[in-house]
Structure 1
Amino acid sequence: MSRRTLLRGAALGAGAVALPALLTACDSGPSGITMGSNASDAVPKKAFAAAFTAYEKKSKKTVKVNTVNHENFQENINRYLQGTPDDVFMWFAGNRMQYFARKGLLTDISDLWRDFDGFTEALKKQSTGRDGKQYLVPYYYYPWAVFHRKSVFRERGYEIPRTFDEYRALAKKMQKDGLVPFAFGDKDGWPAMGTFDYLNMRANGYDFHIALMSGRKSWNSPQVKQVFDLWRGLMPYHQKGANGRTWQEAAQTLAQKKAGMTVLGLPHPGQQFSAADRPDLDFFPFPEIDPVHGQDAVEAPIDGFLMSRKAKDEDGARDLLKFLATPEAENTYLKYDPNNIAVNSGADTATYTALQKKAVHLVAGARQISQFMDRDTRPDFASTVMIQAIQQFLNNPDDIDGLVNDIERQKKQIFAAG
């Protein structure tokens, strides 16, 4: 049994194991504002450190950062917030934020929002709980798409596919040419969710997808069965052994020109490319399946900062959040991590790479924007049901009926619990 499996089991058990060993907040008080960070990868970790240092120089306050492995942070967030959380912590917009707001684990920052500039109404909506109060300071967003290397497409004469049939034909051609068509790793449980989301939105539309995520549609419906069937048709072109491979390892095979494509978010492949190779990275929107829905929906998660309900240094936390809402804070971060897009309209876009500019254009042209499966649905449903279900599908894609019936049964139990 892997360490990750043990950690997940401990986190999801009925209180059998205490959380502090995984997410232990630093002591708060006059010594500094504490920050719970899930930025464990090298590039974002360095970029956030630069932003926090800029705040420290400006405010003469100290930020004590408690960095935890990204996946462990996500899997244990519920216990973390109910235990001894940091003053401020990194988290996600939309439903994932609203869930903890409803449970009374966040601090209302509506008063800060009244003085914020540069955030659109759409961003405010994604930062607002179902009680109408604001809880999140949005920091950046990044679209999911199909990433590839321009040089590989150019050298091999590959054309960008617009339809699903063209997509599958391209994968077949890549395989014939000795490439792995789709770099793929789902060891951490969430990366494959992006492929499901796009297949569902392209086949059934954004409204159906969001209704499915919120528990209002059945997982054993013909529409969902079609999604898994479409995915099953692509499985021969996916990298084998996905459940034993991290997304970082998968993205590295794209960088090494061993794989032709991968479905990930903007920061993920970029972090695995060297600075010299990064200009060769490109993407295209996930292809059309049903012309009625086209390529209208784009998956573009928003990340940001929240204040825990148990913040010890509330004044310091509010002061830090005010800084993080400024263009200055975003500019500092993006100087060290050119793999995300600033949400504040006042941020400097002059230094954006071609890939960042293309990402802005993709999101700006979208008719609907989703936040990702584990953000658009209940976190307990995503972590206890869908991670295991998708990994089960990857191991055995032929029992779709059994899979979706099991998902629907568990969904009813979890959503009925309120």
Structure 2
Amino acid sequence: MTLHGRALKTLAGPNRRTVVQGIFGLGAAALATPSLTACGAGAASDPNMVTFGSNGGDATPKKAYAAVTSAFEKDSKLTVKTNTVDHDTFQKSISTYLQGTPDDVFTWFAGYRMQYFAKKGLASPIDDVWATIGAGFSDAAKQLSKGEDGKYYFVPLYNYPWAVFYRKSVFKQHGYQIPANWSQFTALAKQMQKDGLSPIASGYGGGDSWSILGTFDYLNLRANGYDFHMSLMRGQAPWTDRRVVGTIDLWRELAPYLQSGGGGRSWQDAAQSLLDKKSGMAVIGLFLGQQITDDSLRSDVDFFPFPEIDPTYGQDAVEAPTDGFMLSRSPKNPDGAHKFLEFLGSAKAESIYMSVDPSNVAVNSAAGTGSYNALQKKSAELIAGAKYITQFGDRDSDPGFISTVVEPGFTEWLNHPDDGSSLLRTIESQRSRFFTA
């Protein structure tokens, strides 16, 4: 499934909540669903075969991966044996899978989730692969592919940005200008409210509380910078830090302009209110496009980067969740696996994938963009120009901490925004449960 469908499972909803233990825990209860088992488990090493564990179980990514592996087989004369498992089962079983006899190469996510398995010794470093593919990636993409030890463990395939989306016709009708900084952004929101619009679409009901993390992340990134934001996400900085207090103050300033009743609305409903011209803006990911089936409507949708708050940091960071590949700790065919990863990180492979699944954007800067729609092209430019790329909420932090502590706290706070002191004390009191020094 591409992000436009997969985001609902990877980043959102009840399914996402049930995978936390499976991703980072080893309890049997967390693995009650059918397990992920390597297709090469127990088999003797075959120098002509590479095994590949894929979470692309839905039709479109399955077809896209098949096109990529077919091209690799043709170029390399090796055979790729693909083990395709549905996305949720893959996540639920990943820990046990990696500790057993996993496939040589497997799909996974950049950021904290990649670094977790690298730190546990459940993945192999691939610096030699990056010596071959490195020229095709930005410094930000290189950084998000490294483990805590500074070695490479990840090969990116595609990503997508979070930004502030709007309809061009609404801005033209009212004469709105794209805001570049915080004062212009809040002034625009105030004017939209006067014009009878809900300034910022909001929907975080049910399993969609994840959707509010995008706003928090951008407020913190813009006000306090990438380094502090990542320290906070990794459990290295206290949530009672004055900088987090300042972020909450900014969010409270924005709160009156959020669409009312967000706690009873899904993210899809919030997105639809933007498309229906009931809301003026939405802080959301490119997967908004899955709500659009009409090309004329798609051409009327645009976005701008989240506005600057502190000029020291400007708009240098972009939230761009990234999916790609890792190498298992003891691949049966290490030479073949390294060749496969080099191919997967090539512009050719990414272009082939995007030609079948055009709902994301390629990470390799040399990948073809001829098939991209306008939103994809602009997304690629935004990401390519970023100094820093963050992964979004629980991809940059411990998923259990975010899902059981941070998100419920934010959700309750948004119902009655105050100075946030109680909220932040509560979150801070739980930090040590998930992060160790």
The question of a shared fold, defined as TM-score above 0.5 by the shorter chain, is answered with yes
Matched, 1:126 2:138: no
| Amino acid corresponding to residue 345 of structure 1 in structure 2 | S
Deviation at 1:73, TM superposition (A): 5.9
Distance, in Å, in 2 between the alignment partners of 1:23 and 1:175 is: 50
Residue 85 of structure 2 corresponds to 66
Matched, 1:252 2:272: yes
Give 1:185's match in structure 2, choosing from 203, 224, 228: 203
Deviation at 1:316, TM superposition (A): 6.3
Q: Is the 8 A contact 1:118 1:346 kept in 2?
A: no
Q: Is the 8 A contact 1:32 1:64 kept in 2?
A: no
| Amino acid corresponding to residue 321 of structure 1 in structure 2 | L
Deviation at 1:45, TM superposition (A): 6.1
TM-score by length of 1: 0.82
Give 1:297's match in structure 2, choosing from 279, 294, 317: 317
Identity within the alignment, % = 50
Distance, in Å, in 2 between the alignment partners of 1:272 and 1:344 is: 27
Deviation at 1:129, TM superposition (A): 2.0
Deviation at 1:131, TM superposition (A): 3.1
Structure-2 change in CA distance of 1:121 and 1:163 (3 Å): closer
Q: Is the 8 A contact 2:39 2:82 kept in 1?
A: no
Q: Deviations over 1:88-114 (max 9, x none)?
A: 433222333122100112133334334
Residue 27 of structure 2 corresponds to 15
Distance, in Å, in 2 between the alignment partners of 1:163 and 1:189 is: 26
Give 2:174's match in structure 1, choosing from 142, 156, 159: 156
The Cα RMSD (Å) is 3.5
Matched, 1:110 2:130: no
Residue 386 of structure 1 corresponds to 406
Q: Deviations over 1:35-62 (max 9, x none)?
A: 331676x765664454455556765544
Residue 406 of structure 1 corresponds to 426
Matched, 1:91 2:111: no
Q: Is the 8 A contact 1:297 1:366 kept in 2?
A: yes
TM-score by length of 2: 0.79
Q: Is the 8 A contact 1:33 1:316 kept in 2?
A: no
Deviation larger for 406-415 or 82-91: 82-91
Deviation larger for 196-205 or 311-320: 311-320
Give 1:283's match in structure 2, choosing from 303, 318, 342: 303
Distance, in Å, in 2 between the alignment partners of 1:368 and 1:412 is: 27
Residue 362 of structure 1 corresponds to 382
Distance, in Å, in 1 between the alignment partners of 2:399 and 2:21 is: 16
- How many residues align? The count is 412
Give 1:227's match in structure 2, choosing from 214, 236, 247: 247
Structure-2 change in CA distance of 1:129 and 1:337 (3 Å): same
| Amino acid corresponding to residue 171 of structure 2 in structure 1 | F
| Amino acid corresponding to residue 355 of structure 2 in structure 1 | K
Give 2:185's match in structure 1, choosing from 148, 161, 167: 167
Distance, in Å, in 1 between the alignment partners of 2:417 and 2:93 is: 29
Q: Deviations over 1:300-327 (max 9, x none)?
A: 3332111333767767655543332222
Residue 331 of structure 1 corresponds to 351
Structure-2 change in CA distance of 1:65 and 1:207 (3 Å): same
Structure-2 change in CA distance of 1:389 and 1:48 (3 Å): farther
Gaps spanning 5+ residues in structure 2: where? 1-12, 44-48
Structure-2 change in CA distance of 1:191 and 1:114 (3 Å): same
Q: Deviations over 1:159-197 (max 9, x none)?
A: 212222332232333344443322233334432212111
Distance, in Å, in 1 between the alignment partners of 2:203 and 2:63 is: 24
Counterpart secondary structure, 2:199: strand
Matched, 1:353 2:373: yes
Give 1:372's match in structure 2, choosing from 363, 378, 392: 392
Counterpart secondary structure, 1:135: coil
Distance, in Å, in 2 between the alignment partners of 1:80 and 1:231 is: 41
Distance, in Å, in 2 between the alignment partners of 1:404 and 1:248 is: 29
Distance, in Å, in 2 between the alignment partners of 1:285 and 1:6 is: 29
Deviation larger for 236-245 or 30-39: 30-39
Structure-2 change in CA distance of 1:361 and 1:18 (3 Å): closer
Matched, 1:145 2:156: no
Gaps spanning 5+ residues in structure 1: where? none
Distance, in Å, in 2 between the alignment partners of 1:275 and 1:351 is: 17
Q: Is the 8 A contact 1:146 1:286 kept in 2?
A: yes
